[in-house]
Amino acid sequence: MAIDIHWIRDDSALAEHCQRWRQLPFVALDTEFMRVDTFYPKAGLIQVGDGQSAFLIDPLLIQDWQPLAGLLEDPAVTKVLHACSEDLEVLARLTGSLPLPLFDTQLAAGYLNLGFSMGYSRLVQEVLGIELPKGETRSDWLQRPLSETQVSYAAEDAVHLAELYERLRPQLSEEKNAWVLEDGAELVVQLRREIDPYLLYREAKLAWKLSRAQLAVLRELCAWRELEARERDVPRNRILREHAMWPMARTQPDNLVALARIEDMHPRTIRQDGEFLLDLIKRTGSLPPEEWPPAVPEPLPIEAAALLKKLRAIGQAEAERLDIAPELMLRKKTLEALIKSGFPEGPYQLPDSLRGWRRERMGQALLDCLADAGEPI
């Protein structure tokens, strides 16, 4: 069956359609973008499905994104996306807004126990019985005109995403639907949360092995790389490769030859920023102790593995009761943060990352499990 495709190529058409979409209970949203040599995604196409037709918005021709921002923020219209973290970045970059309420069909599939982290094509095959053509993921979405194959691929995404919602939503209980929307809201919160570049060092691999003086250098390197990547709009590793930062912080080279010997150091970085990096290392290396960051905690010892397994079993048992994909229940990072809060003898505290329905349903059981584990036999 041929898809009814409508192009939106100017501000007045976008405003008109957004006004109409705001009368609907839901719209399906998808984006096509390029992100090969840039820090930020470059939008090539925005697709909207209303359950009947596919609307293709050309972002290269639109100037006023306020009508779409209004639609994204309209609490009366559910926005349907699939595995949407990068789509959210594209929409935020274009419109300054993010979609709420947000219904992610990948999450919905998990709550219906169809599978965890299912790709779009597989979900369409599973739920709608439609085999999609091979994707245009490597296409140039900034080229004009787009090829017929690209247009067809983009339009099908919008149409089938709306059909997925219409099929999945009735299968969800009101409680599970609320959880899907809660998780969607959490995705939006995470994207809105400004990451302090000067705290990124805490996530660096092996940071716990460095002294506080060395961590001060790592902190500056991580922050500088992040800020430069944003400023120059290039990928982080184009500024400074990730695996070069830890040995730089540990050995603190003081000349270009020593800097060039650093593992995974790209010659381009030496040419462009070598002198600056040496100066940064020298300045940071002479900071007084009161300006050093706190030590990064060591990873959990091997003895904590059995405890982690017990906690995961609580999530798996609850998943079975609720008929939900077990991977949706308790994230490993959350459980590790919980154990770190009091290992080995307690008391333990629920981490902030355990929120909403998961905290309500499993929080006390997790604390009880840890309390039992700490009692002498």
Task: Tell me which fold the domain 5-192 belongs to.
Answer: Nucleotidyltransferase; domain 5 (3.30.420)
Query: What is the SS3 string spanning 80-131?
Result: EECCCHHHHHHHHHHHCCCCCCEEEHHHHHHHCCCCCCCCHHHHHHHHHCCC
- Is-contact 102 187, C-beta < 8 A? yes
Task: Say how far residue 130 (Cα) sits from the centre of its chain.
Answer: 28
Surface-to-core class of residue 31, CB atoms within 10 Å of its CB (0-12 exposed, 13-18 middle, 19+ buried):
buried
- Is-contact 34 141, C-beta < 8 A? yes
Task: Say how far residue 305 (Cα) sits from the centre of its chain.
Answer: 27
* pLDDT number for residue 241: 97
The Cα–Cα gap between 331 and 327 comes to 7
- What homologous superfamily does CATH list for 302-374? HRDC domain (1.10.150.80)
- Is-contact 327 299, C-beta < 8 A? no
- Residue 212 DSSP label: H
Every domain of the chain with CATH number 1.10.150.80 lies at 197-291, 302-374
Q: Which residue shows structure tokens 């003898």? A: 345
CATH number, domain 197-291, options 1.10.150.80, 3.40.50.720, 1.10.940.10, 3.30.460.10: 1.10.150.80
The Cα–Cα gap between 356 and 176 comes to 13
- Is-contact 353 337, C-beta < 8 A? yes
- Nearest to 66, CA basis, from 33, 23, 18: 18
The pTM (predicted TM-score) of the whole model is: 0.93
Q: Annotated catalytic residue: which of 50, 74, 156, 157? A: 157
Q: Annotated catalytic residue: which of 74, 87, 136, 226? A: 87
Helix or strand (DSSP H, E) at 44:
strand 42-49
Q: Annotated catalytic residue: which of 104, 111, 120, 153? A: 153
The Cα–Cα gap between 19 and 357 comes to 34
* pLDDT number for residue 377: 39
* pLDDT number for residue 139: 87
Output phi, psi for 293, to 5 deg. -75, 160
The Cα–Cα gap between 33 and 39 comes to 12
- Nearest to 18, CA basis, from 61, 86, 85, 64: 64
The Cα–Cα gap between 353 and 317 comes to 20
Every domain of the chain with CATH number 3.30.420.10 lies at 5-192
Sheet order of strands, 54-57 included: 5-8, 54-57, 42-49, 26-34, 78-81, 102-104
- Is-contact 232 226, C-beta < 8 A? no
Catalytic annotation present for 87: yes
Query: What is the SS3 string spanning 247-281?
Result: HHHHHCCCCHHHHHCCCCCCHHHHHHHHHHHHHHH
Catalytic annotation present for 30: yes
- Nearest to 239, CA basis, from 200, 193, 207, 210: 200
Output phi, psi for 27, to 5 deg. -135, 145
Block means of pLDDT (10 residues each) for the chain, length 377 residues?
91 98 98 94 97 97 98 98 96 97 98 96 96 78 95 95 98 98 96 92 96 98 98 97 97 97 95 98 96 94 93 97 96 94 92 96 96 64
Catalytic annotation present for 32: yes
Q: Which two tokens stand for residue 374?
A: 């700490």
